[in-house]
Structure 1
Amino acid sequence: MMRIQINLPLVVLAMFLLAGCDQGSPSQTLVLEGKTMGTVWRVSMAGVEAGRKIALRQAIQKQLDADDAELSTWKPDSTLSRFNQNQRREPQPVSANMADIVTEALRIGHKTSGAMNITVGPLVNLWGFGPDRQPARTPSEAQIAAAKALTGLQHLRVLQGVDGQWLQKDLPGLYVDLSTLGEGFATDHLARLLEQQGISNYLVSVGGAVLSRGNNASGQPWRVAIQKPTDRENAVQARVELHGHGISTAGSYRNYYELDGKRISHIIDPATGRPIEHRLVSATVIATTALEADGWDTGLMVLGSEKAKALALKEHLAVYLISKQGDQFVSWMSPQFAAFLIKQ
């Protein structure tokens, strides 16, 4: 059966930057944009001279290219790809960046009972959302079981020492996929770069992960908007003021394809080995860092509405969920999220 690829780039589609109300006077805001990790990045800076534009763009792109060369599963020579290709059980040296992102992934993975699982790569590839091509037909139960056998957070460890960091796997075929966290990590990394450049008022995004510091050119907190979860229109569902926090949205409505008459989401449930099919279509999380927000939103999307609500309340997370009931979208927010919400 013919398949239609509707895999739109994960720019700030799950998260619109409100250009008209977050930037103040255009002459006081320097905005830079570019491409990375199969998506786009955007940096808005208040009170930064236009003469710094070229140097800042070069520094930003250089750092993002370095992050991509380290974390990508699409580049066969990346640090992560080399780890995945190596079948040895001995610890493999990695950078502090890699150790940090895996450590956070394992923490959130355990908190979500494995719903956020960076070892789900074999299943991601099986369903056609990794470097491999999309399947011509729905994978068989045997194929799914074989891929699931190569997954499991318990097979991955981060080792820290005074002379470095290492990743270790006790399952030779373990395949780590950091795409669910890469945008959040890169966003935080860009924020550190801007701080080193003496810039303290900015809004940074890589794909759907956003982080703010300070205020916009009007002296107000940076604002962003959560998109209505549909690929048919660009409409705002809710607006928030970040107050120096990170925010990230995971959704099942942008990155998918049609196979055998069914919509196949890019979000895979590690427990079933299959793309999610429940009614939760969007999960937004506000956290101290974009990396943390980027990890939680995926885990909550896998869990579905009721389990996601319970976990958000248990962990005191700032969460905004949107579920589809018939032709209607129904939203729910935790008390912590309500503190950021801009009242309409």
Structure 2
Amino acid sequence: MLTWRRYGLLVLIGTLSACGNGDSLESFGGPTMGSTYSVKYVRHAGLPAPADVQVEVEKILAEVDRHLSTYRSDSDIAQFNALPANHCRVMPASVLQLVRVGEQLSMQSAGAFDLTVEPLLNLWGFGPQAREEKIPTAQALAEVRQHVGHDHLRIDGEQLCKDAAVEVDFNSIAAGYALDTIAAKLTAMGIHDYLAEATGELKAAGRKLDGTAWRIAVEEPRDDQQVAERIIAIDGYGLSTSGDYRNYFVQGGQRFSHTLDARTGLPVSHNLASVTVIHPSALMADGLSTLLLILGPEQGWDYAEKHDIGAFFVMRADTGFVTRSSHAFERLSGRKTE
């Protein structure tokens, strides 16, 4: 049994040997978005070779990086972010699509989720232009918050406009968008049995080489050992885990997470350690896992139940971790607990 560890998820791969009918499980991967990606697919007779599939997948990843990356100054979104207030710029369709998704998630969370928090991330030491991890002064926080808010963005035809010097950060949804695009390309190439991963987000469809489903272990949010909280099978769904346990700093005995609530400009301070979301769209799974993590164990649970979202919550407790899953998660995961 091979295992493949990513952020909060453990992929149970199974056998990689070829079947007697000539089918084989192919795989490839590489760096992307400051992390890695990987694609595994069952190659039946007549399907393209891994090298040809990899070329198409990496074209998609290169385009996503060129349009959405805040870590390169020549990307479309970086150039938009550099504009002063009351300016517009023609943007690719992918950028406009994700801005609309961000607006939807912002409105549904009463502003807790917001794509324009990059200045706050930088201020707290977590963003691409961060200087150091530290608690900002009240004055600095108030000044930066004037340049945060999805309501400062407006789409005008093919243009994205801003009425304040806001900066957009797609890190909470870019990987999910990339996976949906990759999944569509694989399907167009005749590949229907695959598992694709990018920066820890997953999307799978079909079956493995041995005919069984792709199985994913949702792990406890800890670094000292691998402990599976839940094992589920996915077919036609995206899976995303957001957590506050890998990127944080401690000052004055207090822990400060990189997950920020846009309504306050402060790191979240509840006991929700991670959220895993299963959704037909990897993009929505990606964004919703972040949204629910920001909202916390009570508000997040209520949101998931109200919107019929498949979500698995892991909370810190005095004795370790406790879990809670939404009704939609139980239904979509098929209660795979082996």
Q: Distance in 2 between matches of 1:88 and 1:208?
A: 35
Contact 2:121 2:130 in 1 (8 A): no
In structure 2, the CA distance between the partners of 1:142 and 1:203, relative to structure 1 (3 Å rule), is: same
In the TM superposition, residue 118 of structure 1 has moved relative to its aligned partner by: 0.4
Q: Deviations over 1:7-61 (max 9, x none)?
A: xxxx7222221122xx664662111121101111111101257971222223322
Q: Which residue of 2 aligns with 1:208?
A: 200
Within a 5 Å distance, the mapping from 1:155-194 to structure 2 comes to 155-160=152-157, 165-171=158-164, 173-194=165-186
Q: Distance in 2 between matches of 1:55 and 1:269?
A: 42
Matched residues, number:
327
Q: Which residue of 1 aligns with 2:317?
A: 325
Within a 5 Å distance, the mapping from 1:131-146 to structure 2 comes to 131-135=128-132, 137-146=134-143
Q: Distance in 1 between matches of 2:133 and 2:222?
A: 26
Q: Which residue of 2 aligns with 1:82?
A: 79
In structure 2, the CA distance between the partners of 1:205 and 1:183, relative to structure 1 (3 Å rule), is: same
Q: Which residue of 2 aligns with 1:295?
A: 287
2:30 to 31, 34, 40: 34
In the TM superposition, residue 114 of structure 1 has moved relative to its aligned partner by: 1.4
SS in 1 for 2:303: helix
1:272 to 259, 264, 279: 264
> Is the counterpart of residue 44 in structure 1 residue 36 in structure 2?
no
Contact 2:124 2:133 in 1 (8 A): no
In structure 2, the CA distance between the partners of 1:238 and 1:134, relative to structure 1 (3 Å rule), is: farther
In the TM superposition, residue 291 of structure 1 has moved relative to its aligned partner by: 0.3
Q: Distance in 1 between matches of 2:213 and 2:272?
A: 30
Q: Which residue of 2 aligns with 1:72?
A: 69
In structure 2, the CA distance between the partners of 1:102 and 1:329, relative to structure 1 (3 Å rule), is: same
Q: Distance in 2 between matches of 1:100 and 1:319?
A: 24
In structure 2, the CA distance between the partners of 1:15 and 1:68, relative to structure 1 (3 Å rule), is: same
Within a 5 Å distance, the mapping from 1:201-280 to structure 2 comes to 201-280=193-272
Normalising by structure 1, what TM-score?
A: 0.90
1:286 to 278, 286, 291: 278
In the TM superposition, residue 197 of structure 1 has moved relative to its aligned partner by: 2.0
Letter in 1 for 2:115: I
Letter in 1 for 2:141: I
Q: Distance in 2 between matches of 1:127 and 1:327?
A: 30
Unpaired runs of at least 5, structure 1: 1-10
In the TM superposition, residue 261 of structure 1 has moved relative to its aligned partner by: 4.0
In the TM superposition, residue 311 of structure 1 has moved relative to its aligned partner by: 0.6
> Is the counterpart of residue 15 in structure 1 residue 14 in structure 2?
no
2:50 to 43, 50, 53: 53
SS in 2 for 1:272: coil
In the TM superposition, residue 185 of structure 1 has moved relative to its aligned partner by: 1.0
What is the RMSD computed on CA atoms of the aligned residues?
Answer: 1.9
Letter in 2 for 1:305: P
SS in 1 for 2:49: helix
Contact 1:30 1:48 in 2 (8 A): no
Normalising by structure 2, what TM-score?
A: 0.91
Greater relative CO, 1 or 2 (CA 8 Å, sep 6+): 1
SS in 1 for 2:286: helix
